[in-house]
Amino acid sequence: MFTRKLKFEAEANFPFLTYVDNGSVLSLNLAIYVDDAMSALIAGTGWNVPSYQSSNGWFLQIPSTYVVGQDGLVKMRHVDPDYRNRVDIDALRGTLSSLLGDLSLNARLPPEHEDSSSPCI
């Protein structure tokens, strides 16, 4: 549900890779189990983490970004447990340019995407 809403709001015309019930991220060690004490603290702030994942489990996914080629192979990846460290936009742009050619990828990003500490990449 969350992914479908995100894709609609972004007006994306490409497929989104989603994790059903965290199965694939758990198998790759890309999720952290949140114990009862911590989940109570998080829930107390109003965040219902399981609702974002369509499951009852309290798992936080380790932030990661992947570029998957049309051949199904991963062409670029960025994985960092510290959510403040985001993928390098120039590296991402370079990877996309090499895969797609110059399809206006050199256009400037909106200012909110220029700051590498922005959570909106």
My answer on whether 56 and 92 are in the same domain is: no
My answer on whether 41 and 2 are in the same domain is: yes
Last residue of a domain, one of 16, 46, 62: 62
Last residue of a domain, one of 39, 62, 85: 62
Instruction: Give the integer Cα–Cα distance in Å for 76 and 67.
Output: 5
Of 47, 50, 85, 48, the closest CA to residue 64 belongs to 85
pLDDT tens by residue, the chain, 121 residues? 667 787 888 888 777 777 667 777 888 888 888 999 999 999 999 988 888 776 788 888 888 888 988 888 999 999 999 989 989 999 998 998 898 875 554 444 444 444 444 333 3
Taken in order 5, 7, 13, 19, is the CA torsion positive or negative? Answer: negative
CA angle 84, 86, 91 (to 5 degrees): 160
Task: Provide the number of structural domains found in the chain.
Answer: 2
My answer on whether 58 and 76 are in the same domain is: no
Structural domain range at position 119: 64-121
- Predicted model pTM: 0.58
Instruction: Give the integer Cα–Cα distance in Å for 104 and 96.
Output: 11
